[in-house]
Amino acid sequence: MIRQDELRQRLQGFLRVPLAHLPTPLEEIGHLCGSLPAPLSLYTKRDDQTGLAFGGNKARKLEFIMADVVAQGADTVVTWAGVQSNWCRQMAAAAARMGLRAVLVLLKKPGVEVAEDGNLLLDRFFGAQVRIVEASGDKGFLELEHVRELVDPVVEEERKAGRKVYLAPVGGSLLEGSLVRPLGSLGYVVAFLELLEQAQARGFTPDTVVLASGSAGTQAGLLAGAKLLAPETRIVGISVAASAADLSRYVRVIAQAILDELGESPSVADDQIIVLDEYLAEGYGVLNQAVTDAIGLLARREGILLDPVYTGKAMAGMLDLAGRGFFRPEEKVVFLHTGGTPALFPYREGILGGLDG
């Protein structure tokens, strides 16, 4: 463990541009507690309120990544993700704010129509150059090697046009392309420090933090922060995109890189990485009744909106875990709200059809 002021001082040594509204609130969600079978103290860390382009967790990552873009002298950022990507929406907004060109390679399933709605609509508003391409997704798209044949031609096109390109990995997580240091995930070391200070001001240390884990960087940053400041706090990732084995491997690599970057030598042990993939169900971005129920429950009990791809699935998982006795009685549990609410709109028919009166 290290002191909080020491970690803060080390983090100040990294280049960073102000993009997020911080600190985000830590709120108790007491009405929801009343619907749980076990007595828990539930809180939510509102990273849907980071302010950049409807908010979300990517704003914290982009503060460090966009500083790296500038440091490398790039004028164009190329990245990839799914059509309704929160990452691409916030990347497009950050690039617009900083006067940079954003080129988004958006992957869609063959034969599926694309609606100009939600995050894609916002990408257009921010002036991003959008390339929609078909991809089966059989191997996933978190790793660059699985999408290289789709991304490399776009990078080459930009370079031939005389632009200096920064290739940013999906989610700003894995160390790929131009991101050779775990800079994006440092944003969630900052977030854990922020959360811990807010919780301590209320007289507690979080026992568990639950989050939707997609490209692994947010979970890895939280895990590294917890390992340094509060080893007793467990970080539980509800996978929304990959198997527990794959996602755990990504979390380990990124978290270890963060600790190395911060000059800390402890290794990340297997039992410190908690990834649950049983709530992935039919796969990334596929709506189901449990997710719809979770969205409706939090909206009607707390006035808080979840999204159908990330936080809705994570909340559904957390509620099921509470019912199964995963948490100890009176445990202090924090749900990290990572944003993503613009995706509610393209999913509206499925959500409305699943809500009870």
Using one digit for the tens of pLDDT, what is the confidence trace for 236-273?
Answer: 999 999 999 999 999 999 999 999 999 987 789 889 99
CATH number of 73-172: 3.40.50.1100
CA 58/CA 42 separation, integer angstroms: 24
85 is annotated as an active-site residue: yes
Count of alpha carbons within 13 Å of 341, Cβ hemisphere only? Answer: 18
User: Who contacts 173 (Cβ-Cβ below 8 Å, separation ≥6)?
Assistant: 61, 142, 184, 185, 215, 216, 217, 218, 220, 250, 254
pTM: 0.96
Residues 1-58: pLDDT tens digits? 899 999 999 999 999 999 999 999 999 998 887 777 677 899 999 999 999 999 999 9
220, amino acid identity: A
Q: What kind and span of H or E run contains 300?
A: helix 289-302
User: What pLDDT score was predicted for residue 356?
Assistant: 66
Catalytic residue among 35, 41, 85, 136: 85
CATH class of segment(s) 4-57+182-354: alpha beta
Phi, psi of 195 (to 5 degrees): -60, -45
Give pLDDT, residue 30.
85
**Ranges of residues in the chain whose predicted pLDDT is under 70:** 37, 137, 356-357
Instruction: Kindly report whether the peptide bond that precedes residue 23 is cis, defined as omega within 30 degrees of 0.
Output: yes
- Residue given tokens 């100009």 in the structure block: 116
CB 90, CB 53: distance < 8 Å? yes
Q: For the chain, give every domain's residue range.
A: 4-57+182-354, 73-172
4-57+182-354 against 73-172: fold identical: yes
Helix and strand element counts for the chain (H, E): 12, 10
